[in-house]
Structure 1
Amino acid sequence: MGLYDRYLAVRHRLHDGDPPSHVAIVITERDLLADGAFDTLADALRWAFEYGATRVTVSVSVLDESVVPALTRELRRLDTPEPLVVRGPTEADRDGSGATHADDADDRDTDDDPPIRATVGLGGKAEFAGAVRELAEDVADGTVDPDSIDADDISDRLVFPEEPDLLIKTGAERLSDFAIWQSVYAELYFTDVNWRDFRRRDYLRAVLDYQDRQRRFGR
């Protein structure tokens, strides 16, 4: 760790603000396919837990669905500091006719609530639409009273319902269809550093920026 990185680390540890407990990282397909990108992600996951996170959600936005299996396979091979589960779109998601939960044999027997979760090509719009479809089916079946529906009924039907404290996006100031429901009160941190160049100092800058903010949760 360089001198400047040590300075940032000390400043973080002496800071009065709490570090983010749940960190979300949004990466584009193009960034993750660059040389060394998976190594950078493995490092970023270690930094997150080193600096106070208890949960990390990784979202990989995808334009070419043909790369989803390869990206999913490589994510499962990551050397992670905590257990990881990967979710991607099902065929039903792609044709718009079914729920958003991935039917993936490799993850069926894993912990459904691991400290690290990743989605590949599962956008926030598709996830939200799937939750609404599932809720509509429950209403049609008579198991849910439409007059009693509230925000929790939507959240309970999302793939990953927990709301991140800090969302980090590299390269551009847009969410790339990440968790449009869950991230409504997240603190957003955008950096023009490309993912392949993302370093410990960049992660620490994001955490320090988060600690300097006063969270209002829409108030």
Structure 2
Amino acid sequence: MDLLSFGHPLYERFLAWQITRSTTKTPAHVAIILKETDLLEPKGMEKLLSALLIFKRYNVELVSIYVDILKAEQPLKTELASTLGTSIEEIFTCLSSETGYKIHGLEGEVKSSRQGKDFFVYVSLGFGGRGEITRAVLSILEEVKTGSVSPEEVDEKMLESHLLVKHEPDIMIRSGGQKLSDFLVWQSVYSELYFTDVNWKDVRRIDLLRVIRDFQKRQRRYGK
């Protein structure tokens, strides 16, 4: 019998039942790639808050969000980043005080942050992976120049320690059926990828439950 014939509520409960009964853990770290227009939609921020609450409900510990801001003149990009950063910070007030977050601006600077215990959210407003790696390398070169680090000490672990996000995503989600951005290019080398044709403004709880269930069914190879 097709559960979809009974409508979304029953199918959502079925998905939730599958997730909780599975012997495979849910993803600990989820990354989401969005466009600035996704969040500027009338219910864009509401969708983001709902997604965070669903992930938290199913034991996701860390969510990394990249907002791919349109290629425009710097004043407009700066204004967009500021507006989005303020709106995103507002939705964090709807989460428990145990939830921590860090919002990074266009140059990787920390615009706002809060310590957390049970759930943490990273937000990058237009600062992609290539910029992140470049910044990390320049930081290490400065340490070599000052003598606090010797060239022989420079390795992958040191580079990783200088990245903004130091955790590898278990799964990266891109809505709207588009290609991935350069977000977390170092950290995501072994991440699972999930593409959906559903645009962010149309994403429902059932779609996010499908992501979690799909992850549980995959056999991860970590590049092998």
Give the shorter-chain TM-score range.
0.7 to 0.9
Give yes or no for contact 1:61–1:177 (8 Å, CA) kept in 2: no
Residue 86 of structure 1 aligns with which residue?
103
Residues 149-193 of structure 1, C-alpha deviations (whole Å, 9 max, x = no match) = 111111111111111111111013422221111111111111010
Residue 42 of structure 1 aligns with which residue?
49
Q: Which of residues 109, 119, 127 is equivalent to 2:124?
A: 119
TM-score between the two structures when normalised by the length of structure 2: 0.86
Q: Which of residues 11, 15, 18 is equivalent to 2:18?
A: 11
Instruction: Give the aligned length.
Output: 206
- Give the 3-state SS of the residue equivalent to 1:39 in structure 2: helix
- Give the 3-state SS of the residue equivalent to 1:60 in structure 2: strand
After TM superposition, list the pairs within 5 Å mapping 1:190-209 onto structure 2: 190-209=195-214
- After TM superposition, where is structure 1 displaced by more than 3 Å over at least 4 residues in a row? none
CA distance in 2, matches of 1:178, 1:130: 14
CA distance in 1, matches of 2:47, 2:163: 28
TM-score between the two structures when normalised by the length of structure 1: 0.88
Residue 3 of structure 2 aligns with which residue?
none
CA distance in 2, matches of 1:23, 1:60: 14
CA distance in 2, matches of 1:34, 1:72: 15
Give yes or no for contact 1:12–1:208 (8 Å, CA) kept in 2: yes
After TM superposition, list the pairs within 5 Å mapping 1:44-83 onto structure 2: 44-63=51-70, 64=72, 65=77, 66-78=79-91, 79-81=94-96, 82-83=99-100
Cα separation, partners in 2 of 1:22 and 1:3, compared to 1, 3 Å: same
Query: Which segment is superposed worse, 206-215 or 169-178?
Result: 169-178
AA in 1 matched with 2:32: I
CA distance in 1, matches of 2:68, 2:35: 5
Measured after TM superposition, the shift of residue 18 of structure 1 is 1.1
AA in 1 matched with 2:64: T
CA distance in 1, matches of 2:82, 2:145: 35
Cα separation, partners in 2 of 1:155 and 1:112, compared to 1, 3 Å: farther
- Aligned CA RMSD, in angstroms, stands at 1.8
Residues 118-174 of structure 1, C-alpha deviations (whole Å, 9 max, x = no match) = 111111111111001111111111221212211111111111111111111101342
Unaligned runs of 5+ in 2: 1-7
Measured after TM superposition, the shift of residue 112 of structure 1 is 8.4
Residues 34-59 of structure 1, C-alpha deviations (whole Å, 9 max, x = no match) = 11010000000000011121111111
Query: Which segment is superposed worse, 132-141 or 75-84?
Result: 75-84
CA distance in 2, matches of 1:40, 1:138: 42
CA distance in 2, matches of 1:138, 1:42: 39
Unaligned runs of 5+ in 1: 94-99
After TM superposition, list the pairs within 5 Å mapping 1:38-187 onto structure 2: 38-63=45-70, 64=72, 65=77, 66-78=79-91, 79-81=94-96, 82-89=99-106, 93=107, 100=108, 102-104=109-111, 106-107=112-113, 110-111=114-115, 115-187=120-192
Cα separation, partners in 2 of 1:28 and 1:115, compared to 1, 3 Å: same
Of all paired residues, the percent bearing the same amino acid is 35
